[in-house]
Structure 1
Amino acid sequence: MANQQELFFEAIKAALPEYQNMAQSIAEVLEVSTNEAYKKIRGSSILNLQQIIKLSDSFRVPFIYKPDQLPTVTFDYLSVDQEIPNMLLYLQDLLKNLKQIQQSKHKHITITTDDIPLFHFFKYPELTCFKLFFWSDSVMNTDVKFDPSGFAAEIIEISKELNQIYLEIPCTEIWSKDTVHGTIEQIRYAFEAGYITKALAEQIIEQVRYCLTDMNMYAISSKKTIDPAHTFNWYNCDVLGSISYLVDFKDSMACYNRFNTFNYLRTEDQPYCKQTKQWMQGLIMKSVSFSGQGKSTGTNTCIMLLPSVINY
Structure 2
Amino acid sequence: MNNPQIAFFQSIKAVLPEYQNLALSIAEELGISTNEAYKKIRGDSNLTFQQIIKLSDCFDVPFLYSPKQSLSVTFSYLSVNEDLDMIGYLQNLLDNIKAIKNSNHKHITITTDDIPLFHFFKYPELTRFKLFFWANSTSNLEIPFSASFLSDEIIKISQELHATYLEIPSTEIWSKDTISGTLEQIRYAFEAGHLSDTELAVKIVEQVRYCLTDMNMYAISSKKTIDPNHTFNWYNCDVLGSIAYLVDFKDRMTCYNRFNTFNYLRTEDQAYCSQTKKWMQGLIMKSVSFSGQGEKHRNKYLYHAFAECDKLLNEITNG
Q: Do they superpose with TM above 0.5?
A: yes
Aligned to 1:247: 247
Q: Is the 8 A contact 1:2 1:46 kept in 2?
A: no
Query: Structure 1 regions of 5+ residues with no counterpart?
Result: none
Q: TM-score, normalised by structure 2?
A: 0.95
Corresponding residue number in structure 2 for 1:139: 138
1:159 corresponding residue in structure 2 = 158
- 2:237 is aligned to 237
Determine if contact 1:234/1:290 at 8 Å carries over to the other structure. yes
Per the TM alignment, residue 128 of structure 1 is displaced from its structure 2 partner at its CA by 0.1
Distance 2:6 2:294 in 1: 45
User: Is 1:76 equivalent to 2:76 in the alignment?
Assistant: yes
Pair 1:210–1:79, CA change in 2 (3 A)? closer
The one-letter amino acid of 2:8's match is F
In the TM superposition, residue 294 of structure 1 has moved relative to its aligned partner by 6.6
Moved more, 191-200 or 104-113: 191-200
3-state DSSP of counterpart to 2:46 = coil
Structure 2: 5+ residue stretches without partners: none
Q: Is the 8 A contact 1:173 1:234 kept in 2?
A: yes
More displaced 10-residue stretch of structure 1: 73-82 or 182-191: 73-82
Aligned-pair CA distance for 1:304: 2.3
Task: Give the count of matched residue pairs.
Answer: 311
2:267 is aligned with 1:300: no
How far, CA to CA, are the matches of 1:21 and 1:30 in structure 2?
14
Q: Which amino acid aligns with 2:109?
A: T
1:269 aligns with 2:272: no
**Partner residue of 2:173?**
174
Q: Which moved more, 1:281-290 or 1:296-305?
A: 296-305
1:1-312 alignment to 2 at 5 Å?
3-82=3-82, 84-196=83-195, 197-293=197-293, 295=295, 296-297=298-299, 298-310=301-313, 311=315, 312=318
Q: CA RMSD in A?
A: 1.3
Q: Secondary structure at the match of 2:73?
A: coil
Query: Is the contact made by 1:109 and 1:247 (CA closer than 8 Å) also made in structure 2?
Result: yes
Moved more, 276-285 or 298-307: 298-307
Tell me, in whole angstroms, the C-alpha distance in 1 between the residues paired with 2:153 and 2:22: 33
Distance 1:229 1:132 in 2: 31
- Given the superposition, is the C-alpha separation of residues 212 and 2 from structure 1 closer, same or farther in structure 2, using an over 3 Å criterion? closer
Among all aligned residue pairs of Structure 1 and Structure 2, give the percentage whose two residues are the same amino acid.
69
Per-residue CA shift, 1:186-228, capped at 9, x if unaligned? Answer: 0000110111122111110000001100000001111001111
**Which of 23-32 and 70-79 deviates more?**
70-79
Q: CA deviation at 1:302?
A: 1.2
CA displacement at 1:69 relative to structure 2: 4.3
The Cα of 1:2 is off from its aligned counterpart by: 7.0
Distance 2:63 2:133 in 1: 36
What's the CA shift string for 1:92-149, capped at 9, x where partnerless?
1110100000000100000000000000000000000000000001122222110121
Shift in CA distance, 181/263, structure 1 to aligned 2, threshold 3 Å: same
SS at match of 2:272: helix
1:262 deviates by: 0.8
- Is the 2:183–2:312 Cα contact (8 Å) retained in structure 1? yes
Contact 1:221/1:294 (CA < 8 Å) preserved in 2?
A: no
- State which drifts further: 55-64 or 273-282: 55-64
